[in-house]
Amino acid sequence: MTNLESLDLSQNMLSGEIPQTLAQLTSLEVFNVSHNRLVGPIPQGEQFNTFDDSSFQGNLALCGFPLPEKCGNRDFPPESAPTQVTEDNSMWIDWLVRSLGCASGFIVGFVIGKIFITDKHHDWFIDTFGRRKWPKTRARSAPRGPRNS
């Protein structure tokens, strides 16, 4: 991996810090971790000093060169715990909305069916879907004895 020339990890929802060991990759020409959830200082080294700020955009908690945000003595809380809670909440909200939609659809369908079809148009409903009196046909029984011809 020491000969790695290109590393594009953009838009992968990665969280945590960028490993300092990546600064040791001297063959790295392209590096992009934009639009993730990375935190902490950007590693400094030979190749990392050549990447522009577009390689790190969209990570609101990253700091250091080439970004305008300086690191100083900042504490960087882990991003994974709030993200998990947010994803769990959004799944619960999705199921709640779907359940309410199904329940309200059933109720509306029942009310429309009751009022408009069975009450107001009762005769039409019975004529169309009611029991029909089919003429009875007699089944032919098999002959009981030998036939004389």
Residue 15: give its domain's CATH number.
3.80.10.10
Instruction: Please give the residue range of the domain that contains residue 17.
Output: 6-63
95/58 same-domain check? no
The number of distinct structural domains making up the chain is 2
Q: 115 and 84, same structural domain?
A: yes
Kindly state whether residue 93 falls inside one of the protein's structural domains: yes
Query: 92-143, pLDDT tens digit by residue?
Result: 888 888 999 999 999 998 888 887 777 777 777 777 777 666 556 665 666 6
- What are the structure tokens assigned to 100, written together? 């309410």
| Model pTM score | 0.47
The reply to whether 144 falls in a domain is no
What average pLDDT does range 13-35 have in this prediction? 86
Domain-located, residue 46: yes
Ordered alpha helix ranges (H), 32-133 = 80-112, 122-129
Which of 55, 74, 75 minimizes the C-alpha distance to 65?
55
Are 15 and 42 within one domain?
yes
pLDDT exceeds 50 at position 51: yes
Residue 143 inside a domain? The answer is no
| CA dist., res. 136 & res. 43, Å (int) | 91
Q: Answer whether 42's CB lies under 8 Å from 56's CB.
A: yes
Q: Are residues 47 and 86 in the same domain?
A: no
Residues 10 and 56 placed together within one structural domain of the fold: yes
Return the minimum-mean-pLDDT range out of 51-65, 74-88, 118-132.
Answer: 74-88
Distance of alpha carbon 53 from alpha carbon 86, whole angstroms: 28
Q: Is residue 142 part of a domain?
A: no
Is 149 inside any structural domain? no
User: What is residue 141's predicted lDDT score, i.e. its pLDDT?
Assistant: 61
| 73 within a domain of the structure (yes/no) | no
